[in-house]
Structure 1
Amino acid sequence: LEQRWSFEVIAHILQMPFKTLYNWLDKGWLDIKREVLPDHGVRYRKSHDGRGQYTRGAKFINQRPDEANLRQEIGHFEVDTILSGKTRGEVLATFTDRKSRLMIIRRLPGRDSKAMTKAILELNEELRGLIKSITSDHGKEFAGFKEIEACGIAHYFAHPYAPHERGTNERLNRELRLHIPKNQPIESVTNEELTMISKYLNWRPRKCLGWKTQLQVFFGDLSEKFD
């Protein structure tokens, strides 16, 4: 608390529900006053998408195999959605291969599980069944993970409040945001522009790839797979 951390941050570090800390405060079990808390300890009721309730029975990232963790083979993707400033409307799904860092962008009609599940399965079909696993956050758009796994794709969820566990995708999403700012509606981005952005992101030599491009690494491994 001396660092002015919120109860949410403290609860995450202690791996406990943050509401428990508020309950302890209300009961007088903590030797602090509300006035010293960030926002004076006011609990804001925020809108949410039921994040977390959709992942009961799911596998977490600590169950992911070394082939994915150590970037030993292509086909293990980190997945996320890119939103505009609106709460409704089109979104972009970004798929980043962990080994090659290749980013594939797909336009979705909305941020819902039906659209995301369809996009994942269609992409896997385009890639001739190449997708071995995906790693995502707990957003509602990934509620269809059981349908995805039934098609032979392992689905792993990162831990809450741990975007670094999907760091490859997060970094490339930031590069994507240089071309599509947060306040720009996705509907205003043409398919031609998305293609150009994708080429720009994937044709850049990367130091982490020995100065090869993502496309070189991905399709180099792909050609070996189907030789």
Structure 2
Amino acid sequence: MSRQRPRVTSVRFLSEEERITIADLLHARRSVRTIARELGRSPSTVSREIRRNTHQPSGNYRPRTAQRSAERRRSRPRTGKIAASAELTAFVRTHLLERWSPRQISNRLRTEFPGRAEMQVVPETVYQALYGRGSLDLAVSPALALRTGRTGRRPRRRKEHRTKRFPDMVMIRDRSAEVTGRLVPGHWEGDLIIGKGSCSAIGTLVERTTRFTILVHLAGNRGAENLRDRLAESMSALPAHLRKSLTWDQGTEMACHQDFTRRTLIPVYFCDPASPWQRGSNENTNGLLRQYFPKGTDLGTHTIKDLARVADELNRRPREILGWESPVEQLARLISPPTES
């Protein structure tokens, strides 16, 4: 006669019936994975339950003792790790207000407080503190602190767009392997973030190796000639060894790309239609910038100083892709021209 699967009373907690089943199957010398399949639970859940509630002198798993212990744990209100430490709360709150992500905060804690377990949290702990009851202790709104601007947790969505093509383009497939490998600095990705009614825009440039960002002030004019001039001004200020190429999408704002190349000696490469992933660093940066420049707002109201301040703040954030260094730290090692041997 087949064993009837016990009723699962919660998606999170094992029931007493399930614990009795675990004890029976352990007595029958069944493996953890077999027990997990019988219960419809994860093997890690079963393994953790057995390890936590095995009586050490006898080596026996005691289901009713395990159930009573679980009920006591659930009935005790627990203070979250962040809320329990004033020092940790202050660190997390300060950096959330500076628009650091939970992953950035988590990894910077490891760097600044090595060996102090009470000052270490995983990113999920920060998210739970933001979205759960701990948000009262942090006194930070997730709508303001996180780049998504959401007050609840939802899967992130991506939006693709198509732009027009024009002649005389050198395609991305013709870039050298040096650009693709990201080992040599000086190759940039660019785009526009568009304001309310498509009447205003800000130019964004991201260096592929360091993720260093430059914001280009367009003074309310997103035309091709103005963009050409403003890009030339911005990139001509860079050392020559950091001005090697620029990759853009097929938007008509780059119609003057040949003039730009003649002025700066920087070749321009164009992505395939509807392929934003070919400028992945720039797309990611544009998402970060929407914390400062929300969609549906007039971007023409921001001054050159405003853009410089935002770029500086962004360039000082630690990045996982950079080994938790910031773009400005990476660029500092590259800003001097290479010495000839």
TM-score by shorter chain over 0.5? yes
Whether 1:93 and 2:203 are equivalent positions in the alignment is: yes
1:201 aligns with 2:311: no
Residues 1:121 and 2:232 aligned together:
yes
Structure 2 alignment gaps of length 5 or more: 1-161
**Cα distance in 2 for residues equivalent to 1:226 and 1:92:** 35
Instruction: Identify which of 258, 262, 271 aligns with 1:158.
Output: 271
Instruction: Return the alpha-carbon distance in structure 1 between the equivalents of residues 303 and 321 of structure 2.
Output: 31
Q: Which residue matches 2:253?
A: 141
CA-CA distance at 1:226 after TM superposition: 6.5
- What displacement does 1:103 show? 0.7
Question: Could you give the per-residue CA deviations for residues 185-215 of structure 1, whole angstroms, max 9, x where no partner exists?
Answer: 0122244432321122110111111111101
State the secondary structure of the residue aligned to 1:77. strand
Separation (CA, whole Å) in 2 of partners of 1:133 and 1:181: 29
Residue type of the alignment partner of 2:234 = L
Matches within 5 A, 1:53-132: 54=166, 56-88=167-199, 90-109=200-219, 110-129=221-240, 130-132=242-244
Residues in 2 aligned to 1:50 and 1:181: alpha-carbon distance in whole angstroms: 22
Compute the TM-score of the two structures, normalised by the length of structure 2: 0.49
The aligned runs of 1:4-23 (5 Å cut-off) are: none
Partner of residue 219 from structure 1, selected from 319, 329, 332 = 332
Give SS of 1:78's match: strand
Give the gaps of 5 or more residues in structure 1. Answer: 1-48
Whole-angstrom distance in 2 between the partners of 1:155 and 1:148: 9
Shift of 1:149: 2.5
SS at match of 1:222: coil
1:170 is matched with: 283
Inter-partner Cα distance in structure 2 for 1:105 and 1:226: 29
SS at match of 1:147: helix
CA distance in 2 between partners of 1:112 and 1:181 (Å): 21
- C-alpha distance in 1, partners of 2:163/2:331? 35
Match of 1:182 in 2: 295
Separation (CA, whole Å) in 1 of partners of 2:223 and 2:304:
21
After the TM superposition, list the runs of 4 or more consecutive aligned residues in structure 1 that deviate by more than 4 angstroms.
none
Question: How far 1:154 moved relative to its partner?
Answer: 1.0
- Aligned amino acid, residue 223 of structure 1: S
Name the stretch that deviates more: 200-209 or 117-126: 117-126
Residues in 1 aligned to 2:163 and 2:320: alpha-carbon distance in whole angstroms: 39
Structure that is richer in strand per residue: 1
Q: How many angstroms does 1:140 deviate by?
A: 1.0
Contact 1:66 1:72 in 2 (8 A): no
Q: Which amino acid aligns with 1:168?
A: S
RMSD over aligned CA atoms reads: 1.9
**Cα distance between partner residues in 1 of 2:300 and 2:224:** 19
Alignment of structure 1 residues 28-67 onto 2, 5 Å: 51-52=164-165, 54=166, 56-67=167-178
Q: Paired residues, what number? A: 176
| Equivalent residue letter for 1:71 | R
Residues 65-98 of structure 1: per-residue CA shift (max 9 Å, x gap)? 122111112211100011111232x320000000
Higher relative contact order at CA 8 Å, sep ≥6: structure 1 or structure 2? Answer: 1
